[in-house]
Every structure is written in C-alpha cells, then in structure tokens.
Amino acid sequence: MNQNQVQNPETQVPKTPQMNDRDFLNDMLATEKYMTSSYSVFLHEASHQQLYQDMLNIFTETQNCQRELYNLMFQKGWYKLETADPQKLQQSYQQFQGYTSQFPYQTTVQ
C-alpha cells in the first residue's frame, strides 16, 4: 500500500465480468453524490417555503445515506484517500489567511 493512502485493508471481491458488491456500492455512492448535488441546487433556488422544507428533509436523508455508503466502502478498503502533505496544508492556510483582509467584515480565523 502507498504510504500516502488512507484506507482499511481491502476486502477481496471476485474478478468476474458481473457486478460485485464493491461495484454496486460504488454505483450507489455515485448516485447519492449526484442526487445531493442536484438537491442542493434546487434548495438554493426554491422560493416556496414548504416545498423547500420538504426537499431539505429529502436532501438530509440522501446525504446521510451517502455518508453511510462512504463509511461502508471505507471500512471495506474500497475507498482510498490520499494523506495531506503538512507543508502543502500550511502553504494553503497561509495563502488563504492573506485573503481575510479582503473580506467586507473582519473575522478571526482560528
């Protein structure tokens, strides 16, 4: 395993042309991500309060489902992440810290 990857040991899946559990979960996760993104656009533009509330509830349920799928895939080692380079994090922090002087109101970043 690459030292920069964050993952659990991968659960073995059969190498066949048919979809396996990992394939199904990956497809479901991609669908949930697409749905939450679409719901988010709707929520930004909804003008009717009750419809907004109903869609917000659906969005929240969908987002929670997406998170559960992500967690399951990560636990099985089917979702890999790259570790962040501390030096790059510090550079990004310093870069964006400089932008705070451009805000119309001053806040403190901690």
Supply the pLDDT for residue 108.
60
Total domains, the chain: 1
Instruction: Assess if residue 100 is contained within a domain.
Output: no
Residue 58 pLDDT > 60, yes or no?
Answer: yes
- Decide which of 62 and 95 is more confident: 62
Instruction: Assess if residue 110 is contained within a domain.
Output: no
Query: In terms of residue numbers, what domain contains 51?
Result: 20-78
Residue 1 pLDDT > 70, yes or no?
Answer: no
Instruction: Assess if residue 99 is contained within a domain.
Output: no
Residue 56 pLDDT > 70, yes or no?
Answer: yes
Instruction: Assess if residue 94 is contained within a domain.
Output: no
Q: 22: which 2 tokens? A: 């990992």
Longest CA span, the chain: 58
Give the C-alpha distances (Å, rounded to integers) separating 76 from 42, 62, 87: 33, 21, 30
Instruction: Assess if residue 103 is contained within a domain.
Output: no
> Rounded to an integer, what is the distance from CA 60 to the centroid of its chain?
14
- In angstroms, the CA 31 to CA 104 distance is 38
Instruction: Assess if residue 65 is contained within a domain.
Output: yes
**pLDDT of 63-103, one tens digit each?**
999 999 999 999 998 888 888 888 888 888 888 887 777 77
Residue showing tokens 């403190």: 108
Supply the pLDDT for residue 6.
66
